[in-house]
Amino acid sequence: MAGWQENKQRIDVSYIGPDILLIIPPSGHNWTIARLLTGISYSYPFSTHVGPTLQIRALGGFFKTSIPGVLNGWDIAEDSSPLPWTFCYQADAGLKWKLSRKFSLTTMAGYTGGSPISHVLISGGANGFPAAIPYHYFIGSIQIRAGVDMRL
């Protein structure tokens, strides 16, 4: 499974930590995530005839994303900073209704999570030298999907 997610940034300014690290996404900045996942899927039909089927999936893989531009002291980096490929997971559950031999109506709800690490440069580190400290971003999203499946 491959996926793409787009998140609209609505935060003007964020303050993080005692050194006042400002994160300033430009107006209309999109935060995108690309995912490559594989895993197991289980289906349980509630009846042998036309009716709902329970679907459950557990997936694991990797995702790639970036963080908004960073302002640290007087140094401004307006562009997004890419984060490394990071392990992620996804769990889904839903129902599938067979409409005909080829078409089914599907509903799914799921959660995807991961925690990439970035090294944030703090200008006033120990002994007055710049220091790169690891910062864990926790990225999680809830998805609700509905659609029509077509079997070839």
At residue 95 the predicted structure's pLDDT band, cuts being 50, 70 and 90, is very high
For the whole model, what pTM was predicted? 0.65
pLDDT at 24 over 70: no
For 58-93, b/e burial (b = at least 16 CB within 10 A) is ebebebbbbbbbbebeeeeeeebeebeeeebbbebe
H helical segments located in 6-115: none
Q: Which domain holds residue 52?
A: 2-150
Q: What is the average pLDDT across 106-112? A: 92
Domain count, the chain: 1
